[in-house]
Amino acid sequence: MRTFFGTDGIRGLTNKAPMTAEVAMRVGMAAGAHFLRGDHKHRVVIGKDTRLSGYMLENALVAGFTSVGMDVVQVGPMPTPAIAMLTRSMRADLGVMISASHNPYHDNGIKLFGPDGYKLSDADEAAIERLLDKSPRLADAAHIGRAKRIDDARGRYIHAVKQSLPQTVRLDGLRIVLDCANGAAYNSAPTVFWELGADVVAIGVNPNGVNINDKCGSTAPALLQETVVASGADIGIALDGDADRLIVVDEKGAIVDGDQIMALIGASWARQGRLKGGGVVATVMSNLGLERFLNGRGLRLERTKVGDRYVLERMKEGGFNVGGEQSGHMILSDHATTGDGTLAALQLLAELVVAQRPASELLHQFDAVPQLLKNVRFAGGKPLDDKHVIAAIAEGEAALNGRGRLVIRPSGTEPLIRVMAEGDDAGEVERVVDMICDAVRAAAT
């Protein structure tokens, strides 16, 4: 059983285990030792979002990596996909992103990327976790690593993202409201859209260490909705704290989730002959309407368990180049090795320019099937093993048989059971979810 790594690296409340400076230093030592392979000079790239605790954890990681003989390149606040890109382009052995993504400022996390720019496999994370409780083999005095900061990292990332569009595509005439969540993309994302000719109204671009994701960003789009309508913008884009996901708002202020974005990009790329794998990869949480939409166009929807890393694994296995999550993670593997909200937004905006249609029309690719998700918190144990819960789930599956889906899973980051159902009958969906939630609550007390 893994103690430190969850579904997306290590994450927790700052200054509480495992998110302490001590653990971060040990992670640096263990990850460094695991990737000390070959006779070349070893290097790790470290980036972070805008949380106050990023300074503390960054310095602890630097101490850990240099102590085992790894050189460190610090690039400061940068989107998670930028760290993945820089890890590859700088020929580094390892990349580290210090971020808790869409969580509040008081949480933080550590995400690791291999030399290929992809998130580490379960096997690599397990190997690093085994080393955390062992005394590291420290470098001798002459071979301790060096640390340096580079100033042009942001420009390298901006250039790479813009390269995902043909030189002929410009965003002139588009008014875009961009919410950067006071997070990692507060500087890079507005620059990308401005350099491509858009009229950018930027919000969530004044980080102070504690306002990341605070009433802004992809998980709190109300301010974006208001600003889009008030400013007469064509579209709104909301990133999360580390900018690896996005949520879109159309010109009327309506929210567009990741399923609609995948439908648009998947169908468009299929028409252009660019779609690989014969479909799109998403998780079990994606709406049944997306599956029906793709099937109606001769495409398929491959489902994985929740987590963009599992989406990416299936994409690599099956040769797909479009995948993502309903929550807004978009993986376009022709251009990036992980989810990238800025890059995905560019693909949408390019479609908007070509189609010359309002966002409210273009981004409504299908009618979503009624879907309901509820969370039940529990103190301990395994509620899903309770016989009454098992019976309730079986009853729910029978009720939805042929007319919907049921997904019940434990959260990978919190003591929650997530209960999701969808189907053509909204009343039946609600009844099934409430029945199962009641059974889980009873088992959890």
% of the chain at pLDDT higher than 90: 87
Structure token pair of residue 444: 């959890």
Instruction: Look up the CATH architecture of domain 173-256.
Output: 3-Layer(aba) Sandwich (3.40)
% of the chain at pLDDT higher than 70: 99
* Residues tagged active-site: 101
What's the confidence (pLDDT) of residue 146? 97
| Least-confidence region, from 145-159, 260-274, 348-362, 407-421 | 407-421
Read off the amino acid at residue 316: K
248-275 mean pLDDT: 97
Indicate where the chain has its CATH 3.40.120.10 domain(s).
10-151, 173-256, 258-341+355-362
- CATH topology classification for 10-151: Alpha-D-Glucose-1,6-Bisphosphate; Chain A, domain 3 (3.40.120)
> How many CA atoms does the CB half-sphere of 31 hold within 13 Å?
35
Indicate where the chain has its CATH 3.30.310.50 domain(s).
371-444
**Secondary structure element (H or E) that encloses residue 108, with its range:** strand 107-113
pLDDT at residue 220 is higher than 70: yes
What's the confidence (pLDDT) of residue 184? 98
pLDDT at residue 1 is higher than 80: no
What's the confidence (pLDDT) of residue 40? 85
What global pTM score does this model have? 0.91
| Least-confidence region, from 74-78, 105-109, 174-178, 382-386 | 382-386
Q: How far is CA 62 from the centre of its chain?
A: 25
50 or 6: which carries more pLDDT confidence? 50
What's the confidence (pLDDT) of residue 243? 97
What's the confidence (pLDDT) of residue 167? 86
| Least-confidence region, from 33-47, 315-329, 356-370, 411-425 | 411-425
6 or 377: which carries more pLDDT confidence? 377
What's the confidence (pLDDT) of residue 410? 87
Preceding omega of 18 cis (within 30 degrees of 0): yes
Mean residue pLDDT of the chain comes to 94
Residue with the two structure tokens 């709190």:
220
Q: What is the pLDDT of residues 315-353, one digit of tens each?
A: 999 999 999 999 999 999 999 999 999 999 999 999 999
CB-CB contact of 293 with 211 (8 Å): no
Reported confidence tier of residue 413, pLDDT bands at 50, 70, 90: low
Reported confidence tier of residue 15, pLDDT bands at 50, 70, 90: very high
Structure token pair of residue 350: 């390019």
Q: How far is CA 216 from CA 29, 67, 159, 179, 407, in A?
A: 35, 39, 26, 7, 29
Q: Is the dihedral of CA 308, 162, 93, 183 positive or negative?
A: negative
- CATH topology classification for 258-341+355-362: Alpha-D-Glucose-1,6-Bisphosphate; Chain A, domain 3 (3.40.120)
Of the options 3.40.109.10, 3.30.210.10, 3.30.310.50, 3.60.20.10, the CATH number for the domain spanning 371-444: 3.30.310.50
Reported confidence tier of residue 308, pLDDT bands at 50, 70, 90: confident
Measure the CA–CA gap between 145 and 320, rounded to whole angstroms: 39
**Secondary structure element (H or E) that encloses residue 76, with its range:** strand 71-77
Nearest to 85 by CA among 339, 350, 345: 339
Measure the CA–CA gap between 27 and 10, rounded to whole angstroms: 10
Helices (H) and strands (E) in the chain, counts: 14, 18
